[in-house]
Amino acid sequence: MEIEIEEFKNYLMFERRYSPHTVKAYCIDLEEYADYCQKNYQVNSLGEVEQKKIRQWLMTLRMEGLNVVSINRKISAIRSFYKWMLRNDMILRSPALGLRNLKKPRKLPEFVPADKMEQMLDGNLFDGSNFGERDKLIIELFYDTGIRETELINIKCRDLDPARLTLNIKGKGGKTRMVPISEQLCKRLLSMITEPDNYLFRTPKGAKMYPKLVYRIVHKYLEQTNAVSQNSPHTLRHSFATAMLNNGAPLEAIKELLGHANLSATQIYTHTSYEKLNKIYKQAHPRA
């Protein structure tokens, strides 16, 4: 098996011209794999190994706590190795055929807890100037509706409907949706209204807002809450969705409000709520 790995190493280096780092990593992975197969199955060649034995090795690594990224690299090394063996007529069929990478766990979205948001919006962070009022409205609109950064930038004065207390939002792919707003927020947004074709939020020179400016505004205030590491408009979108879910809103309704194409994109917020429930359970139940 050592000779097989050495020949494969030369193939990667001189024919495929892989980087030294990749070659070294693949060879270490294959040596670990070969060692496992030799100890557990007493094989003389890696070409003798069946796929179920490869899967058993991968399962052992997972149970030992190896992360998904490292395991997927080992799978890549094994697939490449058996492809090389097949091309050189060393095996009739690759045991790695159909072997798929493990799915990476989705990173849970960061969000600002509702109490922190209330403290920020009810506090003295925003001054009484026109810019202070504009900044507060931007923060509130993100948190109260869950709209995206580009959606906020593209809101025009005509998109506000005071009679229905809604905003007409142009989302991804040109799709539009009606987003409800509170009466109080609507009244304050009305103070921003100029000509129907004008953008609702504008720069000091009257031009359309741009992403970097919106990001700077949100970052300026969110970082003062010390609640999250990502102080971005998207964090406020996550905060909106999490607050809605924690207060009993159906997942389907949150999907529509966020403008998600399918429910799977919205379901990530259930993990955040389950974490909260789990924490409450452990704190409250005597046997938790």
Burial group, residue 169, by CB count within 10 angstroms (0-12, 13-18, 19+): buried
In this prediction the pTM is 0.65
| Average pLDDT over all residues of the chain | 92
DSSP 8-state symbol, 286: T
pLDDT at 108: 74
- The predicted-structure confidence for 223-256, as pLDDT tens digits, reads as follows 999 889 999 999 999 999 999 998 888 999 999 9
| DSSP H/E element including 170 | strand 166-170
- Domain ranges in the chain are 2-87, 114-284
Q: Which residues contact 204 (CB under 8 A, 6 or more apart)?
A: 131
Report residue 258 as tokens.
């966020």
pLDDT at 195: 93
* Whether CATH 1.10.443.10 fits 114-284: yes
* Separation between Cα atoms, residue 240 and residue 142, nearest integer Å: 8
pLDDT at 273: 64
Backbone φ, ψ for residue 15 (5° rounding):
-100, -45
Percent helix, percent strand, percent coil in the chain, to nearest 5: 60, 5, 35
The mean pLDDT value for 106-122 works out to: 89
Nearest CA-CA partner of 192 in 224, 159, 223: 159
- Position 264 confidence tier, pLDDT thresholds 50, 70, 90: confident
Burial group, residue 241, by CB count within 10 angstroms (0-12, 13-18, 19+): buried
Q: Which residues are catalytic?
A: 148, 172, 234, 237, 260, 269
Domain 2-87 architecture: Orthogonal Bundle (1.10)
pLDDT at 281: 65
Region of poorest pLDDT, from 48-62, 182-196, 268-282: 268-282
- The predicted-structure confidence for 63-99, as pLDDT tens digits, reads as follows 999 999 999 999 999 999 999 999 999 999 999 999 9
Report residue 264 as tokens.
């799977």
Tokens 């004065």 appear where? Answer: 157
- The alpha carbon of residue 72 and the mean position of all alpha carbons in its chain are separated, in whole angstroms, by 19
